[in-house]
Every structure is written in structure tokens, then in C-alpha cells.
Amino acid sequence: MVVPYKHEPFTDFLVEENKHAFEAGLKVVHSYLNHDYDLVIGGERVATKDKIISINPANKEEIIGSVSKATREHAEKAMQIADETFKSWRKSKPEMRADILFRAAAIVRRRKHEFSALLVKEAGKPWNEADADTAEAIDFMEYYGRQMLSLKDGIPVESRQIEYNRFNYIPLGVGIVISPWNFAFAIMAGMTSAAFVSGNTVLLKPASTTPVVAAKFIEVLEEAGLPPGVVNYVPGSGAEVGDYLVEHPRTRFISFTGSREVGVRIYERAAKVHEGQIWLKRVIAEMGGKDTIVVDSSADLELAAQSIVASAFGFSGQKCSACSRAVILEDVYDRVLTRVVEITKNLTVGNTKDSTIYMGPVIDQAAYEKILNYIEIGKVEGRLVAGGNGDNSQGFFIEPTIFADVSENARIMKEEIFGPVVAFCKARDFDHAIDIANNTEYGLTGAVLTNNRSHIEKAREDFHVGNLYFNRGCTGAIVGYQPFGGFNMSGTDSKAGGPDYLLLHMQAKTTSEML
Ligand SMILES: NC(=O)c1ccc[n+]([C@@H]2O[C@H](COP(=O)([O-])OP(=O)(O)OC[C@H]3O[C@@H](n4cnc5c(N)ncnc54)[C@H](O)[C@@H]3O)[C@@H](O)[C@H]2O)c1
Ligand SMILES: N[C@@H](CCC=O)C(=O)O
């Protein structure tokens, strides 16, 4: 019997011992900086001349690793191997597949601070955010392993006296896992684990800015006993390898997490049936957000201000769940804004190798430019009350930025910025606040700060987001506790870390035997 699932606790870095343990993790990562990582196809290492160079976004000079870059030929080879491996893997015992995940989780837990330190280096995460990312990766493995055990015998259905009916879930086939850089470990590991524990084989294409943590995860899976060919590691260009695999007739499903733009492209391309294809591809797509915190007049205003700051600027606002719109009822608007500005002006920005830094860099030059461009738009659409500047001399740093008095139809109220920028908007009353919150094509997360029960009930019914929180911020869902996924253009609401997630990777089969 496995012990009941419980989420991995977060580390308190005020405890000296934990701080030292994390520093030791950073040293381990330093010992393998600038190493080469090969593709892994059918268990074989394949080196290519063309490389993806992964750098530290806080220090452009520091190379995290050079990663081989798959071409279409490599992708084709990996597809053939995954397709072949599926013939045996689909019949492997679910208990064995779950055991591999439990062992992989145990290996990561033992090397927890090393993995988090790698996220500090490769993604520019502050220590607490990196620690949460690693904890979530462990949680996904522990949770999906248990989910597989609970689904392995199917669900009872009725039988008449003359027959014996069964209803079981079987795997789909080869899945393409395309992961983002912002939860470079958790989301990548979660999507991959769900796919293979359900009996599918996988081609994993991680984000090009964070491929090293994915290479390390592959090593963990090998150590945990995953047979060759079940998960194949094929980092490469989205346009070249991504499109090729999405359109491949042997691709059975695509599990994607990333931007709306790429998600829609994948959804459209996957819908086309190609020659030789004998199924309709399934697409699991989790995309962007434009998430809102609503504060009413009855709220604890200090809690509201702290929640807005943490949700807007944690990991530099680079979360699909980040608060990029604060909608405040007009009678408390000035007080909340003043307090948020005050807290924000005390936040530290810099290289997160130092544990005391609150906010690190944004991920790369393209993100830096895009965010600064939105800041320029914000200067026209609102009143700049904090931040507004960037510095990319060493890394890609942008100050936490607040715009006040932004109209509900402004671009910075509608478009995902994916950086440390929050817009404040005034609402006449609570109904107006919920209308503003819903006035976007996304529907991922939201929060309401209130002590008014009827406002809670109204928001529960009318605030149209996949993850709605009361009296807290809008980030930080925990696997198995707050299944995560959004409505509308935020994706297919697949609810990662929830009880239905594995079913998206399987198909139900009914068998009926006459007695
Ligand atoms: N809803 C969620 O659960 C969730 C979680 C994390 C991030 N996100 C979203 O992800 C975005 C940030 O991540 P990102 O910058 O890595 O997103 P992105 O869409 O740029 O990239 C995501 C992945 O898609 C790949 N890709 C790019 N073009 C492709 C193509 N043509 N075919 C196939 N794959 C292709 C990328 O290489 C990467 O691996 C934000 O919009 C954020 O809101 C959503
Ligand atoms: N699951 C994370 C967000 C993932 C997207 O970036 C949260 O709940 O904050």
C-alpha cells in the first residue's frame, strides 16, 4: 500500500541549515555548468553539431549548458522508436509504471536543493520560487502515480446475469509533450509523468531557454528504471521539430503548455488529418492568462495589498496565474494602491544567487523587449506609479511596475504581458468589478478579497476562471489540492494535478463477455 498523498513541504530559508543545504545545491550545479547534453532517443545519446545554448538570464555570460538540437530526422527517428516501444509499454503493469514515478520522486527529493539551484541558474528563479517549482515536480510524480493505481482496474459498470461487463482505461499511443520555461521542472515533469504513467510513450520537447533541467529529469527517470524508448528527449526549434511532430500521422496526442499563440497554432494543425493517420489527435493545451484580483470595501486591505504584490511580482510576474490586473472598488482604491506602491518600492531586484533577492530577471532578451514595450504602452494608458525601468547590461532585469487609473478596455488590461507589470483599475461596485474581471478572452485564475458573503457567492457563480481564490493571491495552486487549468483562451481546462488529468491521456474500453 502506498501512503496517502500529501504535498511536498516548502523550505524555510530563514533556517540556517536549509540555507546551507541550498548553497551546497548551488555548488553542485556549478560543478556541471557548461556541460554538453545529448538528445536521448531509444535510450541512446545522440550528439548534434547545432546546439541550444542555455544561459543564466541573470548573467548572460554564464552558460548553463549546451544542448544538442534535434532536426526533423531526429524527430522522425524518435517517433519510430516511441511507436515501437508503445507496443510493449502499453501492456506494462500500471503498478510498475507508478513505482517508477515514486522512485523518481524519491531521487528528486534527495537532490531537491540541487534541482532548485539549477532553476535559480537556468530560469533566474528566486530561491523560494525555485523550491516551490521542485516541490511541485515531486508532487506531480507522487500524485499521478497514485492516480494511476486508482484507475488501473477501471470503473465498475452493471452486468446482467448472462454477461460480465467491464469498463477499463487503456493508453492512447505516442504523445508529444511540449513544455514551457516558466515552471521548467514542475510542468515539464508533470506533463511527461502523466503521459507515460498512463501507458503512453513520449517525445519530450522542452522550452529552448530551459532544456538542461529537462535533461537532468531524463537522467532521473533512467535511474528510476524507466525503460529506453518510453520517454525520448528531443529539444529543438518549435517551428521545425514542434510543427513536424504535431502534424505527424503517428502522433496520437499533444500535451502542450505555453502561450495562446502557439497553443492555437498547435490546436489548428493537430486538427488536420494527414495521410496514413487513423485517429483524431487529442490536444491538451494549457495557455496564457490575464488574471485579476478584485478587492471590495469590506476586505482586509493589508491582506489585499500583500496578495496583489506577491501575485504580480513573484517570479517577476512570469506565471500564467500572475495578477496583472487589480480591480479595486472606488472607496478603497486609493488606500490599496498607496499600500501596494509602498510595498513594491521596497522589493529587491537582482541576481537570485543571493537568497535575499525578491525578484530576478525575466527570461531572455525577447521577453525583456516585449515587457518594456508594454511599459511604454502603459505610460500612455495609465499613470506610472512605480518602476518602469529595465537594465539588460548583465541580465534581463525589469523593475516591478505599477500603472494606476487604467481604463477597463486598455491594452494592458487585456493582453498577457508575462512580466512584472500590474494595472490598477477602479470599479463602481462589485458587479462592475466582476464585469471588468471577465472582460478578457482568457479565464485562468482570479482572486477576490472580501468579507462579504454575498460577494463570495456572486464571484463563485459569475467570475469565469478555472481557478478562483478567496482572501489570498491568485498564484500558487498545489497539486491534488487546487487542480489547475483555465477557461476560454486559457486552454482546454485540463486541470493539471487533478483527479481527471490522467483520463485525458487514456481512452475507455468496454468489454462484454457472455457467460
Ligand atoms: N495555463 C498554464 O498552465 C500555463 C503554465 C505555464 C505557462 N503558461 C503560459 O506559457 C507562456 C509562457 O511560456 P513560453 O514562453 O514557454 O510559451 P511558448 O508558447 O513560447 O512556448 C511553449 C513551448 O512551445 C514550443 N513551441 C514554440 N513554437 C512551437 C510550434 N510551432 N510547434 C510546437 N511547439 C512550439 C516552445 O519551444 C516551448 O517548448 C505564457 O503565455 C504562460 O501564460 C501557461
Ligand atoms: N500553477 C501555477 C502557475 C503555472 C503557470 O505559470 C500557479 O498556480 O501559480
Give the pLDDT confidence of 288-327 residue by residue, as tens digits.
999 999 999 999 999 999 999 999 999 999 999 999 999 9
Q: Residue 161 burial by CB count (10 A; 0-12/13-18/19+): exposed, middle or buried?
A: exposed
Q: Which atom of ligand 1 is nearest to the CA of 209?
A: 16
- In terms of Cα–Cα distance, which of 204, 139, 144 is closest to 8? 139
Mutational pocket test of ligand 1: of 202, 257, 260, the residue with most ligand atoms within 8 Å of the beta carbon? 257
- In terms of Cα–Cα distance, which of 318, 352, 277, 287 is closest to 124? 352
Residue for grid cell 543545504: 21
Residue in 8, 114, 320, 425 annotated catalytic: 320
Cell of 5: 498523498
Cα–Cα distance, 240 to 128 (Å, whole number): 35
For the whole model, what pTM was predicted?
A: 0.98
DSSP state of 321: T
What is each CA distance from 457 to 124, 213, 470, 504, in whole angstroms? Answer: 39, 42, 11, 31
- Is 416 touching ligand 1 by the criterion CB < 6 Å? yes
- Is 319 touching ligand 2 by the criterion CB < 6 Å? yes
What is each CA distance from 41 to 15, 173, 179, 208, 234, in whole angstroms? Answer: 42, 17, 18, 18, 8
Residue 124 contacts residue 142 (beta carbons within 8 Å): no
Helix (H) or strand (E) holding 255: strand 251-257
Q: Which amino acid is at 399?
A: E
Residue 488 contacts residue 470 (beta carbons within 8 Å): no
Contacts of 9 (CB under 8 A, 6+ apart): 135
Cα–Cα distance, 412 to 381 (Å, whole number): 8
Cell of 42: 531509444
Alpha-carbon torsion 444, 449, 450, 453, what sign? positive
Q: Using CA atoms of 485, 93, 133, 490 in order, give the dihedral in degrees to the nearest 10.
A: -20
**Among this protein's residues, is 320 annotated catalytic?**
yes
The helix/strand/coil state of 417 is coil
What is each CA distance from 208 to 48, 67, 182, 297, 428, in whole angstroms? Answer: 15, 9, 11, 45, 44
**Among this protein's residues, is 286 annotated catalytic?**
yes
Q: Which atom of ligand 2 is nearest to the CA of 319?
A: 6
Q: Left, alpha or beta for 238 (phi > 0: left; psi -120 to 50: alpha)?
A: alpha
Q: Whose CA is nearest to atom 31 of ligand 1?
A: 239
Q: Which atom of ligand 2 is nearest to the CA of 484?
A: 1
Distance 321 CA to ligand 2 centre (A): 5
Distance 363 CA to ligand 1 centre (A): 13
Name 166's bridge partners.
511
**Pairing of β 383-386 and β 401-404:** antiparallel
Residue-by-residue pLDDT tens, the chain, 515 positions: 899 999 999 999 999 999 999 999 999 999 999 999 999 999 999 999 999 999 999 999 999 999 999 999 999 999 999 999 999 999 999 999 999 999 999 999 999 999 999 999 999 999 999 999 999 999 999 999 999 999 999 999 999 999 999 999 999 999 999 999 999 999 999 999 999 999 999 999 999 999 999 999 999 999 999 999 999 999 999 988 999 999 999 999 999 999 999 999 999 999 999 999 999 999 999 999 999 999 999 999 999 999 999 999 999 999 999 999 999 999 999 999 999 999 999 999 999 999 999 999 999 999 999 999 999 999 999 999 999 999 999 999 999 999 999 999 999 999 999 999 999 999 999 999 999 999 999 999 999 999 999 999 999 999 999 999 999 999 999 999 999 999 999 999 999 999 999 999 999 999 999 99
The question of ipTM being above 0.90 is answered as: yes
